[in-house]
Copies of this chain bind each other. A is one copy, B any other.
Amino acid sequence: MKELEERILKDGFVIGGDILRVDSFINGQIDTGLLRRICAELAKGWGPIDKVLTVETSGIAYALGVAMALGDLPVLFAKKSKSKIVDPSNLYTAEVKSFTRGIVSTIAVDRNYLKKGEKVLIVDDFLAEGNASLGLIHLCEQAGASVQGVAVVIEKSFQGGRAKLESMGYRVVSGANISGFQNGQVLFAD
C-alpha cells in the first residue's frame, strides 16, 4: 500500500538495527484516517469470516478497523495477563515470545468466545518472526476454530514470519512489506 510505505519513510525510524518505530501514527498515536484506509485494504480478498482475532495491545485498533470493513464482525482479543475477573480454568492459553520486548508471555482467550468451526481472521499491527500469530493460531486449534489467514499492518518479511505462516498453508496479507533495513533506511519488498 503506497500511502503506508510513504508514511513509514516519512515518519518511521529504525532503531537498534532491526526495530522500526512507527508509534507516531500506527501504534502509539493512531492516525485514524490512515487506519481506515489500511483496514479497508487488509479486509479484501477473504472468503466468509466469522470473527476477527488479535492480541492486546496495539493490534486491537486494527482488528476493529478490519472487523468494521468486513461488515461489523465481532472482535476478540487475547489478553496477556490474568485479571481477577476471569476464571482461569475457562481459558485457552498459548506462550508467545515478543520480538520487541524480548520476553515470553502467556496469552489467553475465554473458551466461550472461540468456538469449533468458527472462521477466524487474525489481525495484528506487526508481523516479524510470527510468534504472536502462531500463538493465536494455537488458541484457535485448541478451540477447533478455523484460521482463514493473517492480516497485518506492517510485516518485516526478512524475519521469517510470512514464510513460516505460508508454509503452514495460511494466506498472509500486509499493508507494507519490509524486506530489510540498510543503514537505518527501510527497504520494501518488490
Copies of this chain in its oligomeric complex: 2
Are A77's CB and B28's CB within 8 A? yes
A190, B139: Cα distance in complex, Å: 42
Are B112's CB and A72's CB within 8 A? no
* 10 CB < 8 A contacts A-B: A19-B85, A23-B86, A28-B76, A28-B110, A28-B113, A32-B64, A32-B72, A35-B64, A61-B61, A64-B65
Chain B residues near A85: list those with CB within 8 A: 15-16, 19, 21, 23, 100
Chain A: number of interface residues, binned into ranges: 35 or more
Given contacts A24-B113, A32-B68, A56-B56, 19 further A-B contacts (CB under 8 A): A16-B85, A23-B85, A23-B86, A28-B77, A28-B113, A29-B110, A30-B64, A30-B75, A31-B74, A33-B72, A36-B68, A57-B60, A57-B77, A57-B79, A61-B75, A64-B64, A83-B101, A84-B102, A85-B100
Kindly identify, within residues 21 to 57 of chain A, every residue whose CB is under 8 Å from any CB belonging to chain B. 21, 23-24, 28-33, 35-36, 56-57
Q: Nearest chain-B residue to A62 (Cβ)?
A: B64
Chain B residues near A24: list those with CB within 8 A: 112-113
A113, B23: Cα distance in complex, Å: 9
